[in-house]
Amino acid sequence: MENYFCMSLRVMSNFVKKYINEKITTMGLTSFQCGVLHYVYENTKNGAVVFQKNLEDFFVTSKSSMSDLLQSLESKGLIMRVSPENGDSRKKEITLTDEGKRMNDLTDKILDEVEQFFLSSLDEEEKEDLFKIFDKFNERMERKVWVLM
């Protein structure tokens, strides 16, 4: 079958997105918002700082799309954008509020369910192989994305 790889990837992606969205829409969030909350949580828990540009680069999205998403999260009380001590208000640090941390914990449980659903059908060697393949794909996509920009 032509394009079987692309079609299979699309079907799996749609399944994961649908499953996650069914769970998190009851919480008033989108999968993209959950991804941003998770990124901010993971990248600030050891004292590091996250800026909007970090999110734009990681999620390969435009400045305006990320700005809209951050405004939405801020209006829901899940993040704060704080001017750094040097006073450069153009570059605000993004941190989670207590409610943002609580939401992240809840959405992480949902993501764990999805991961468990897929990975439970694989043995340890297959899991290792799968993640090696994902790493190769991600590396190739990163190179390709930067060439297109």
Looking at residue 85, its pLDDT comes to: 73
DSSP tag of 51: B
Are 82 and 46 in contact by the 8 Å Cβ rule? The answer is: no
Helix (H, G, I), strand (E, B) or coil at 90: coil
pLDDT at 145: 56
Each residue's pLDDT, cut to its tens digit, for the chain (149 residues) gives: 577 888 998 998 898 888 888 888 888 998 889 999 999 999 999 889 999 999 999 988 999 999 999 999 999 999 999 887 766 656 889 999 999 999 999 988 988 888 898 899 999 999 999 999 989 988 887 766 554 44
Please report the DSSP string for the chain in residue order.
Answer: -TTHHHHHHHHHHHHHHHHHHHHHGGGT--HHHHHHHHHHHHHHTTS---BHHHHHHHHT--HHHHHHHHHHHHHTTSEEEE--TT--TTS-EEEE-HHHHHHHHHHHHHHHHHHHHHHTTS-HHHHHHHHHHHHHHHHHHHHHHHHH-
pLDDT for 144: 66
Residue 149 pLDDT: 46
